[in-house]
A and B are shown apart, each in its own frame.
Chain A
Amino acid sequence: MLDLTPKEITERKALRINPCKTCQPAGALYCALGVHKCMPHSHGSQGCVSYHRSVLSRHFKEPAIATTSSFSEGACVFGGGSNVKTAVKNIFDIYDPDIIACHTTCLSETIGDDLNTYIQQMDIPEGKLVVHCNTPSYVGSHINGFFNMMAGFIEYLAEKSETCNGKIGIFPGFVNPGDMREMKKIAGLLKADYIMFPDTSGVMDAPITGRYDMYPKGGTKISEIRELGAVRKVVALGEITEQEPCMVLKRKTGVDSDILPLPIGIANTDEYVMALARLTHAEVPYVLEEERGQIVDIMLDASAHLFGKKAAIYGDPDTVLGIASLVLEMGMIPKYMLTGTPIESFNKKAAALLEKYGVADQCTVKANGDLFELHQWIKNETVDVLIGTTYGKQIAKAEDIPLVRAGFPVLDRHAHALQPIVGYKGALRLVEMILNAILDKQDRVCADEDLEIVL
C-alpha cells in the first residue's frame, strides 16, 4: 500500500498530494443544513454540488439536499445572474423552503458574480428569504466555508436589539450532530436558555420514519437567528472557526462572544462548563460532576497502557487542537499535529499547547500540510496510533498503525456522527476508542505467551 511514498522528505512548492482538507462550499453547505427549512444553494457548476452532497452523504449516511445554478458556458461569459434567479424561482416553487442560502464557488467568484445585487433584483415570494455568502474554493478550506456561511446568515438576519432576551447564543463549530446534542445537554444542565446556531442535530442524524422529510425537524429557526442580536452573550466553540462569525455579530448587533476551544478533553470541557455557569449563575449539577469524575477515573486506569504512547492527529484545525489536548491529559504525546487548512494561528495555538505540557521539542506541527507529508514523517519516526479522518487509513494499512476515526470526513464507518467526542461523555468515548485501538493491535501482534486475559 502506498509504495510511492519515499522516506526522504523533500520540499514541495507546487504539488499537493493526498490533501487533508476540502474546499469552502462543502462547509457552507453543511452550515446551511443546520438552519430549519433551509435549502442550501450552490452558485456554480453542477459538479460542485454533486460532490459536496456526496461527501456529506457518505459521512453522515443521510441524504444531503442542495440545489445548483447549473452553470453552463454561457453563464461563464454573461454571468450567472439568470441561472440563480431561475433557480430561486424553481426552488421556492417545488421545494418550498423558508429560506435559500446561496454560496458561491470558485467559478462564480472568478467571473465576478455579484450575488448581493442578484438577490436584491430577485422576485422573492412574501415571507421567504434568500441569503448568501462568498466562499471561493481557492481560499482556505471547508472550515472557512462553514464560518463564512455563518457570517452570511448573521449579516442578513441578526437584528440589533435595545432589549436583551436573556438567552445565550452557542456556536458549536464544525462538529457532528452527536457533538451538538452533547453541547446542548450540558447547556441545559446548567440551566441556560440557549440558541444554538447552526444546529444540524435533528437534521443530519434524523431517525427513520418510513417517510422522507426534505426538511427534518431540526435546525436553528430563522427567528432564532434574528434573536442572536438580542442575546446576552455568545459562547463560541472553536477558536479558529469562530473568529469571523463572532466579529460579524459584534459589528452588526454589538453582542459579545466568549471564544473557547472545542470542548474536547477535560480541560476544554471544564472551560465550556464554567463559561456557561458564569453566565447562568447555575451550580454545576451533580450529574455533570459525576460524568467528569467517571472519565477522569477511566483515564487514570487507562493511563497505564497509554502513557508515553505517540499519536498522529490530523484533520480540521479546532478538532486536532481539541484531540491533542485530551491526548496530552493522558500523558500521551501528540507527536504529529497536522491540518490541511492553511491558517497560521493553528501553528501558534498548537505550539502553546505543547509548551504547556513541555513536549514541544518532541512534536511536529503543521498547518497547510497534507497526508503524503504525514506518511513521510511517520516513515521516519512512527507512532502508536493515528487519530483523524478516513483518508488516513491508507497510511494505517501501509505502516500497520491502528486508526481511530474522529473528525470530518469519516466515510467508512457508521454511527459515528450520532455520538459525541465533545464533553465528558465524548472524552469517555474517545478514550475507549484509543485504548481499544492500541490494545487490539497489541493482542493481534503479540506472541502467544504474551496474550493477556486481564488488561
Chain B
Amino acid sequence: MWYALMQKSLCYLNLAGKGVVIMTADILEERKKSIISSDFCCHGDGKGISCEKVSVSGSVSQRACVYCGARVVLNPITDAFHIIHGPIGCSSYTWDIRGSLTSGSDLFRNSFSTDLKERDIIFGGTKILETAIDEVVAKHDAKLIFVYATCIVGVIGDDIEAVCRAAEAKYNILVVPVKAPGFSGTKSQGYKLACDAIMKVIMPAFDGSKIPGSINILGDYNLSGEMWIMQGYFQRLGIKVNATITGDASLETLQTASKSVLNIVQCAGSSTYLAKRMEQEWGIPYIKVSFFGIEDTSNSLLRVAAALGDEAVMKKAETMTKIESSKLQDFLTKYKPKLAGKKAAIYVGGGFKAISLIRQFNELGIETVVVGTQTGQKEEYDIIRELSSPGTIIMDDANPSELETFMKEKKADILVGGVKERPLAYKLGVAFCDHNHERKHALSGYDGVKNFVEEINLSINSPVWELLA
C-alpha cells in the first residue's frame, strides 16, 4: 500500500479561469476528487466526481459496512428468523432500529444472535450455529431463516453455507446464508448479497405462471407505512401488487414475486441488482421510480401505467395524478411563503433519493446548495449535477468536517439526512429533517408531501431557534 501526500490542502475553485478563490476547506488530498462544484470540478480535469470507492482511512465517514447493507435490506421481512452469526455487537446495534412497519408478524422485531465468545472464535462457531438453528426450529414454527455472517466469521472461516444446507435438508424449510462480513467491500456489496438471498427465497416457488397486470414493488421498506401508501395508489388504479420487497414482506408474499409482469424499483441503490436478476431469470422488466415529491410521484404512476400497457389503467392514472396534485396546490401555496428563499443541504445514502429531493425542494422554491450521498453512482451524480443550480457543492462519502464546512459556506438553512447528521445540524444551528430510517412520518407519495413540507417548516421555523443568542 502506498501513502498519499498527507498535507493540509486548500481547494481552489476557478471560476471560468478568473482565478477567483470561492472557498477554502481543509480537505484530505485523497478526498479532493470526491467533492466538486456543480459548475466546475475541484481539480479541474473535467473528469467528474470520484465515487463508488472505498472510504479513506482516518476520515470520519458516515458509511457503514457490508453486513449493514445486507441487514437493512432483509430486516423488514416480517416472519423470518434473522440469526446473526457473530459477537453480540452486530445484532444488538441492528435490533429494531429500522422503523419498518408490519401488518402481520412482528417476529423480525426480535434480535437473534449466536453471541460468539472467545472459545468459539478459537475452536470455530459452526457447532454453535447449528445448535442455534436447532433451538429456533424446536421452539418456534420457523419457515424461513436468514443466517448472516459477520466480520469474524469471514476470518475464522465458518462454513455457514454448509450449515444452512444441512439445516434445510434436516427441517425442510428455507435456511438462507448471507455471507456478509463487514470488511469484504462497501455497503453496496451488502445490498447485492441481500438481493441474492431474496432470489433464493423466491426461486423455489417459481412455476411459470403469471398474473396479468400485476407488479412487485422493490426497494421500499415500509418506513412509517410508506409501502402501504403506494399499495393504496395502485389499488385505486386497479394494479395488483404481488410482492413488496421488503417492506411488510412475508415468506408467502415474497414467493409470489415471479408471477408479476413488471418490477418497480424505488430505492435504486439497494434493489436495482435484484430487478436485473429477476429480468435475467424470468424476463420481468423493471423501471426505476421515485415516490418523493409531487412531480416524481405523478410521473412514476404514469410510467407504471404506461409500462403495463393497459389503456384503462393509464386513463385512471392520468385522472388520479391530476386530482392529487391539484389537491396539494392550496396546501403548497400556504407554505411556500414560509419557506421562500431558504437553502437546503442534502446528505443521504443513495443518489436516486438525492435526485428526488432536489426536485422536491425545487417544487417548494427552496434552492439546494449542498448535496452528497454515501453510495451514489456515476450516472446519478451526472443527473444531480444537471439538476443543481450553479455553485452547488456535490460530495461523495462526505465526513462531518466537510459537511460542516460547506453547509456553513453556502449558508444552508436545513439539512436532510440520517441519524448521524442530526446532532451535527442542530449544533450548527441548522434545521433538520430525517429522511432515513428514523423518520416517523411517511414522506413518500402525495400524503408524504404534506408531511415533508410540514416537517421542514416545523424545523426551519421553530420558535426554539429564537432562543439561540
Contact mask B429-469 → A, CB, 8 Å, 1/0? 10000000000000000000000000000000000000011
B interface with A by C-beta (< 8 Å):
1, 3, 6-8, 26-28, 54-68, 83, 86-97, 106-107, 109-118, 120-121, 128-132, 134-136, 139-140, 151-152, 154-156, 181-185, 400-401, 404, 419-420, 422-424, 426-429, 468-469
Knowing A2-B106, A48-B182, the reply to whether A15 touches B132 (Cβ < 8 A) is yes
Among A133-141, A164-172, A328-336, which stretch is in contact with chain B?
A133-141
User: 5 shortest A-B CB distances, which residue pairs?
Assistant: A47-B65, A23-B89, A90-B58, A87-B58, A14-B131
Residues on A with C-beta less than 8 A from B112 are: 15-17
Residues on B with C-beta less than 8 A from A87 are: 57-58
What separation, in Å, do the CA atoms of A411 and B97 have in the docked complex?
A: 10
- A91 is an interface residue with CB less than 8 A from chain B: yes
Knowing A16-B115, A137-B89, the reply to whether A93 touches B7 (Cβ < 8 A) is yes
Knowing A50-B68, A210-B428, the reply to whether A2 touches B89 (Cβ < 8 A) is no
Knowing A19-B91, A110-B152, the reply to whether A51 touches B64 (Cβ < 8 A) is yes
Question: A21 — nearest CB in chain B belongs to which residue?
Answer: B88
B152 x A86 contact (CB < 8 A): no
Residues on A with C-beta less than 8 A from B139 are: 6, 10
A45 x B114 contact (CB < 8 A): no
Residues on B with C-beta less than 8 A from A287 are: none
Knowing A53-B420, A138-B120, the reply to whether A83 touches B427 (Cβ < 8 A) is no
* Least CB distance, A92 to chain B, in whole angstroms: 9
Contact mask A372-404 → B, CB, 8 Å, 1/0? 100000000000000000010010000000000
B121 x A138 contact (CB < 8 A): yes
Q: CB within 8 A of A55: which of B93, B132, B429? A: B93
Task: Name 19 interchain pairs, CB-CB below 8 A, sorted by A.
Answer: A14-B128, A14-B132, A19-B115, A21-B92, A24-B89, A44-B182, A46-B63, A47-B65, A51-B89, A58-B419, A65-B60, A72-B54, A93-B8, A94-B28, A106-B121, A110-B155, A110-B156, A208-B426, A210-B469
Interface size on A, residues (CB 8 A): 85
**Residue in B92, B107, B156 whose Cβ sees the most chain A Cβ within 10 Å:** B92
Knowing A137-B87, A391-B95, the reply to whether A71 touches B132 (Cβ < 8 A) is no
A interface with B by C-beta (< 8 Å):
1-4, 6, 10, 12-19, 21-26, 41, 44-48, 50-55, 57-58, 61-76, 82-84, 86-91, 93-95, 105-107, 110-111, 136-139, 141, 208-214, 340, 342, 372, 391, 394, 411
B132 x A107 contact (CB < 8 A): no
What separation, in Å, do the CA atoms of A151 and B88 have in the docked complex?
A: 23
B92 x A14 contact (CB < 8 A): no
What separation, in Å, do the CA atoms of A33 and B67 have in the docked complex?
A: 26
Residues on A with C-beta less than 8 A from B59 are: 67, 90, 94
Question: A105 — nearest CB in chain B belongs to which residue?
Answer: B151
Residues on B with C-beta less than 8 A from A12 are: 135
Knowing A84-B57, A87-B58, the reply to whether A73 touches B427 (Cβ < 8 A) is no
Knowing A18-B110, A19-B113, A212-B404, the reply to whether A93 touches B183 (Cβ < 8 A) is no
A17 x B110 contact (CB < 8 A): yes
Question: B25 — nearest CB in chain A belongs to which residue?
Answer: A94
Q: CB within 8 A of A61: which of B88, B90, B132, B423? A: B423
Residues on B with C-beta less than 8 A from A24 are: 89
Q: CB within 8 A of A63: which of B57, B87, B400? A: B400
B140 x A4 contact (CB < 8 A): yes
Residues on A with C-beta less than 8 A from B115 are: 16, 19
Residues on A with C-beta less than 8 A from B62 are: 50
* Least CB distance, B278 to chain A, in whole angstroms: 28
What separation, in Å, do the CA atoms of A74 and B107 have in the docked complex?
A: 37
What separation, in Å, do the CA atoms of A54 and B422 have in the docked complex?
A: 11
Knowing A70-B56, A105-B151, the reply to whether A212 touches B111 (Cβ < 8 A) is no
Residues on A with C-beta less than 8 A from B95 are: 18-19, 391
Residues on A with C-beta less than 8 A from B7 are: 93
* Least CB distance, B89 to chain A, in whole angstroms: 3
Question: A86 — nearest CB in chain B belongs to which residue?
Answer: B57
A62 x B68 contact (CB < 8 A): no
A54 x B88 contact (CB < 8 A): no
* Least CB distance, A4 to chain B, in whole angstroms: 6
What separation, in Å, do the CA atoms of A2 and B96 have in the docked complex?
A: 12
Residues on B with C-beta less than 8 A from A391 are: 95-96
B156 x A73 contact (CB < 8 A): no
A18-B95, A47-B67, A93-B8 provided; 19 other pairs, C-beta below 8 A?
A16-B112, A24-B89, A45-B65, A47-B64, A54-B419, A57-B420, A58-B97, A58-B419, A64-B423, A67-B60, A76-B154, A86-B58, A94-B26, A94-B27, A106-B89, A110-B152, A210-B468, A212-B400, A212-B428
What separation, in Å, do the CA atoms of A66 and B419 have in the docked complex?
A: 15
* Least CB distance, A42 to chain B, in whole angstroms: 11
Question: A138 — nearest CB in chain B belongs to which residue?
Answer: B87
* Least CB distance, B144 to chain A, in whole angstroms: 14
Knowing A67-B58, A89-B6, A93-B28, the reply to whether A72 touches B93 (Cβ < 8 A) is no
Knowing A2-B106, A4-B107, A50-B68, the reply to whether A15 touches B135 (Cβ < 8 A) is yes
Knowing A16-B115, A83-B57, the reply to whether A107 touches B182 (Cβ < 8 A) is yes
